[in-house]
């Protein structure tokens, strides 16, 4: 076999999956349909939970991937929900990254591609996966007239995923009825700050500064809502010109902001779908191959990268032979944990679409009401937790601790390190809060036992490679802890 795992797709999700698997000692290669990386960027935001999980990856200079990305982006403490005037406040969130990171997808991909190249992971451009066969021993993948053999295949190949279709995974949902526009442009009279204009008659426009003098212009016209599927297809088949964009800006905002030229112009729809299963035998799907939605709040690439982290450590465990039924097909499997996240993603993006595109007096009233609610700290914090990814949790076993399945905070450790920076894709952390460090003997190549200062009245907590709490205990009974380690494959 040429690899343990073949990843189809060299976007952020595919490249991150490959880097994580490689860091766990898994032999991986990447196949990409395009002949070279795209310089265009639909996504332009990374959220706090994504920044947290990227600390598990180290660049060649020893920095975390998060540190590298932070050096290329811009931290912004507030972001929108449904383009409402009342913004979500990330500065109050319990995270070392209480902000969004404005960074173009092209930059994120470039950083990931450099990491993958430095690790020596093969990336084959111009190699579209067109089919595969699988049996009990592996997968034979057809791409670019060549057959590649591996034990597993990951489809991170976008909304039109050939991997998903060839695997027979259904992709139900709702067809689109709205067309939005987006463009990266140069403006000679740009607004001083990010600007959002919503009009109940004409539509809405947002103008956001990116980098190197480029602004992102995006929005929806009123007449581009409530369309039939064939109208959506027809609308999206018509290229949007620079004059069209200038006309939209003048119509909705009263100015074209000195629009000089466009680097890139495109459209997007609000088709919302998610896969009925994330695994079919030896084949997995992640990112847009598993879920698509209206681009609201830059959540797509973030949820996709969080898919990658959830999948990578479990697939590495399976390749290395220490995975247990709990994580291969049980309650903590990739499929069982990540599909509910996609359901929540679909719900919140559809709700935001309604807030953004109901161009009626009733829609205006709804927006006013929601803005009033967002001014309440508890409502603001709830939605900030949702969009940031920090409130995502997984089902816990019956009879467990209330913290089971929840994200572990970035606790300070006695040696000056922090929990997030100690995470690795191929090991658990066992935090021992007992004064005598009673669990030290349970350390192993798959478990690092760390003496820790008291937290949340716990005696011990087992933290998964992706930073979620597998089990927590108020009393540290070594046999109970040992049993949990066995359940998770760490002993």
Q: Rounded CA gap, 243 and 123, in Å?
A: 39
Tokens of 357: 């595109």
Tokens of 451: 């003496």
Q: Are residues 430 and 336 in the same domain?
A: no
Cβ(430)–Cβ(442) below 8 Å = yes
- The CATH code of the domain that includes 166 is 3.50.50.60
Q: Are residues 188 and 320 in the same domain?
A: no
Q: Are residues 78 and 139 in the same domain?
A: yes
- The CATH code of the domain that includes 441 is 3.40.30.120
| pLDDT tens digits, one per residue of 368-387 | 999 999 999 999 999 999 99
413 domain residue, yes or no = no
Q: Are residues 165 and 183 in the same domain?
A: no
Instruction: Give the number of domains in the chain.
Output: 3
62 domain residue, yes or no = yes
| pLDDT tens digits, one per residue of 23-63 | 999 999 999 999 998 888 788 999 999 999 999 999 988 89
- The CATH code of the domain that includes 247 is 3.30.70.2450
221 domain residue, yes or no = yes
Long-range own/partner contacts, residues 247-250 (CB < 8 A, 24 or more apart):
248/181, 248/203, 248/205, 248/219, 248/221, 249/205, 249/217
403 domain residue, yes or no = no
Q: Are residues 232 and 306 in the same domain?
A: no
Q: Are residues 125 and 212 in the same domain?
A: no
Residues of the chain with pLDDT under 70: none
404 domain residue, yes or no = no
Angle at 293 between CA 209 and CA 271, to 5 degrees: 120
pLDDT at 438: 87
Q: Are residues 326 and 435 in the same domain?
A: no
401 domain residue, yes or no = no
pLDDT at 399: 78
| 393 three-state secondary structure | coil
Q: Are residues 19 and 144 in the same domain?
A: yes
With b for 16 or more beta-carbon neighbours within 10 A and e for fewer, the 375-385 pattern comes to: eeeebbbebbb
Q: Rounded CA gap, 26 and 32, in Å?
A: 19
Q: Rounded CA gap, 403 and 435, in Å?
A: 21
Last residue of a domain, one of 250, 270, 290: 270
Last residue of a domain, one of 270, 291, 306: 270
| 44 three-state secondary structure | coil
Cβ(65)–Cβ(115) below 8 Å = yes
The domain containing residue 425 runs over which residues? 419-487
Last residue of a domain, one of 246, 270, 294: 270
402 domain residue, yes or no = no
465 domain residue, yes or no = yes
Q: What are the distances in angstroms from CA 419 to CA 184, 303, 387, 407, 410?
A: 38, 22, 23, 11, 5
CA 2 to chain centre: 28
The structure tokens 């597993």 sit at 152
pLDDT at 353: 97
Q: Are residues 111 and 15 in the same domain?
A: yes
Q: Rounded CA gap, 401 and 361, in Å?
A: 48
Burial class (CB in 10 A: 0-12, 13-18, 19+), 108: buried
Q: Are residues 78 and 11 in the same domain?
A: yes
Q: Are residues 229 and 285 in the same domain?
A: no
Tell me which residue of 91, 95, 107 sits closest to 43, measured CA to CA.
107
Q: Are residues 170 and 222 in the same domain?
A: no
Q: Rounded CA gap, 76 and 67, in Å?
A: 16
Long-range own/partner contacts, residues 335-338 (CB < 8 A, 24 or more apart):
335/277, 335/278, 335/279, 336/395, 337/310, 337/394, 337/395, 338/278, 338/290, 338/307, 338/310, 338/311
Q: What are the distances in angstroms from CA 155 to CA 422, 457, 477?
A: 29, 42, 42
Q: Rounded CA gap, 164 and 174, in Å?
A: 18
Q: Residue 28 pairs with which residues in a beta bridge?
A: 5
């Amino acid at each position: 076999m040429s690899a343990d795992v073949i990843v189809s797709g060299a976007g952020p999700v595919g490249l991150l999956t490959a880097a994580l698997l490689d860091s766990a000692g898994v032999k991986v290669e990447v196949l990409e349909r395009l002949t070279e990386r795209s310089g265009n960027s639909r996504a332009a935001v990374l959220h706090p939970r994504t920044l947290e999980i990227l600390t598990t990856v180290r660049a060649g200079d020893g920095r975390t991937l998060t540190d590298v990305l932070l050096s290329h982006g811009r931290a912004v403490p507030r972001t929108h929900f449904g383009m409402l005037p009342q913004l979500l406040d990330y500065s109050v969130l319990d995270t070392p990254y209480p902000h969004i990171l404005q960074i173009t997808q092209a930059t994120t991909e470039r950083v990931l591609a450099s990491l993958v190249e430095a690790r020596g992971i093969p990336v084959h451009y111009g190699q579209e996966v067109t089919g595969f066969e699988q049996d009990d021993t592996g997968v034979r993948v057809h791409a670019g007239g060549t057959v590649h053999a591996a034990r597993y295949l990951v489809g991170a190949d976008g909304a039109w995923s050939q991997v998903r279709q060839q695997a027979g995974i259904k992709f139900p949902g709702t067809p689109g009825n709205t067309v939005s526009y987006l463009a990266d442009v140069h403006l000679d009279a740009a607004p001083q700050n990010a600007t959002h204009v919503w009009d109940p008659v004409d539509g809405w426009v947002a103008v956001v500064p990116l980098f190197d003098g480029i602004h992102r212009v995006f929005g929806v016209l009123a007449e581009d809502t409530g369309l039939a599927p064939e109208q959506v297809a027809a609308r999206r088949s018509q290229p949007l010109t620079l004059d069209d964009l200038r006309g939209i800006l003048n119509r909705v905002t009263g100015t074209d902001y000195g629009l000089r030229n466009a680097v890139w112009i495109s459209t997007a729809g609000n088709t919302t779908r998610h896969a009925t299963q994330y695994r079919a035998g030896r084949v997995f799907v992640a990112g847009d191959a598993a879920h698509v939605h209206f681009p609201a709040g830059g959540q797509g690439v973030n949820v996709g990268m969080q898919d990658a982290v959830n999948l990578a450590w479990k697939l590495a465990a399976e390749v290395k032979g220490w995975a247990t039924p709990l994580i291969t097909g049980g309650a903590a499997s990739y499929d069982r944990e990540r599909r509910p996240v996609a359901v929540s993603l679909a719900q919140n993006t559809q709700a935001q679409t309604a807030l953004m595109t109901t161009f009626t007096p009733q829609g205006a009233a709804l927006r006013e009401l929601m803005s009033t609610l967002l001014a309440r700290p508890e409502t603001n914090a709830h939605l900030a937790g949702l969009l940031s990814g920090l409130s995502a949790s997984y089902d816990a076993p019956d009879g467990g601790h209330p913290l089971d399945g929840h994200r572990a905070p970035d606790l300070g450790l006695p040696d000056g390190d922090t929990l997030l920076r100690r995470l690795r894709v191929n090991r658990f952390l066992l935090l021992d809060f007992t004064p005598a460090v009673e669990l030290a003997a349970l350390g192993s190549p798959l478990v690092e036992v760390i003496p820790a200062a008291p937290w949340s009245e716990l005696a011990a907590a087992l933290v998964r490679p992706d930073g979620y709490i597998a089990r927590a205990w108020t009393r540290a009974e070594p046999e109970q802890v040992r049993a949990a380690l066995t359940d998770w494959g760490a002993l």
